[in-house]
Structure 1
Amino acid sequence: MNRRLWGFLGAGLLVAFLLAGVVSSFASSHPDGLDSSLREGCTFDADDTLVGGSCPAQQERDHEIGGPLADYGIAGLGDGLLSTGLSGILGVVLTFAVGGGGFWLLRRRQPAGSPDTAVED
């Protein structure tokens, strides 16, 4: 691959790492559309604990499959900002590895014995 492509990939990874590692810490803690619709009709106290009403959120249970990256953090890290940032960076690395590996497996290859095409730097 030429230098321009490596530069483009490096810049893209840098932006993804900054967004996942830093900007994700400033994401809203308020529920998104799905969570909000599940909470309609329920009453919550100041600690965001369900205390009454009738809504689908009453059927909520703990995650059956936890895992090391459950709830947008790394299990075992006490610092919430560090946990969220590192889980975002790990997610970028895993996504890039799976996507890059898939493209590498599906890349076009020259048939054996065919003349190589000239590549200019």
Structure 2
Amino acid sequence: MLGGLAVAALLAGGASYLASGSPDGLDATTLTGCTVDADGVITGGSCIAQRAQDHELGGSFLADYGIKGVDDATGLAGLIGVALTFAVGLAIFWAVRRRRNAAAESAAGEQLPAAGTPAAVSAEK
């Protein structure tokens, strides 16, 4: 588990700086049919991207693979994302494990023979 966490942190924190700033395939496809200036603003034509709307969480703390108010924080945002994802996963794991243990203890308690019965007396011997 720690090895996987270390690899994820390395990739999110280090390899993210190697990512291309160019639009990916989906972004490029939605711009097909439009003319775009150097800043990525649509200046003419007709394409799917013209109907795109801003996401309601677009201005949030970790939006657009960065940290609001901090320049070149892609790696740090990646590390925060890995840490948050790990924390949520760990909390879910602990909750499920705790629930299973409680269910197992409850089931084990129900299976024990009552004190004083022949089965309980033979189990004590």
TM-score scaled to structure 1, two decimals? Answer: 0.75
**Structure 1 range deviating more: 26-35 or 84-93:** 26-35
1:56 has 2:48 as partner:
yes
Q: Pick the structure with more helix per residue.
A: 2
2:84 aligns to what? 94
CA distance in 2, matches of 1:105, 1:93: 18
Q: CA deviation at 1:113?
A: 9.8
* Unmatched 5+ stretches in structure 2: 109-125
Please list, as runs of the form range in 1=range in 2, the aligned pairs for 1:27-106 lying within 5 A after superposition.
27-65=19-57, 66-77=59-70, 79-80=71-72, 83-106=73-96
Output one character per residue of 1:26-54: Cα deviation in whole Å (capped at 9) or x when no partner.
Answer: 11222222212211100112332211110
- In structure 2, what is the Cα distance between the partners aligned to 1:40 and 1:112? 61
What's the counterpart of residue 6 of structure 1?
Answer: none
Q: 1:113–1:37: structure 2 CA closer, same or farther, 3 Å change rule?
A: closer
Superposed displacement of residue 95, structure 1: 0.5
Q: Which amino acid aligns with 1:67?
A: S
Given residue 111 of structure 1, which amino acid in structure 2 is its aligned partner?
A: E
Question: 3-state DSSP class of the match of 1:76?
Answer: coil
> Which residue of the partner structure matches residue 111 of structure 1?
105
Inter-partner Cα distance in structure 1 for 2:91 and 2:56? 30
| Structure with bigger RCO (C-alpha 8 Å, 6+ apart) | 1
Gap runs ≥5 in structure 1:
1-8, 115-121
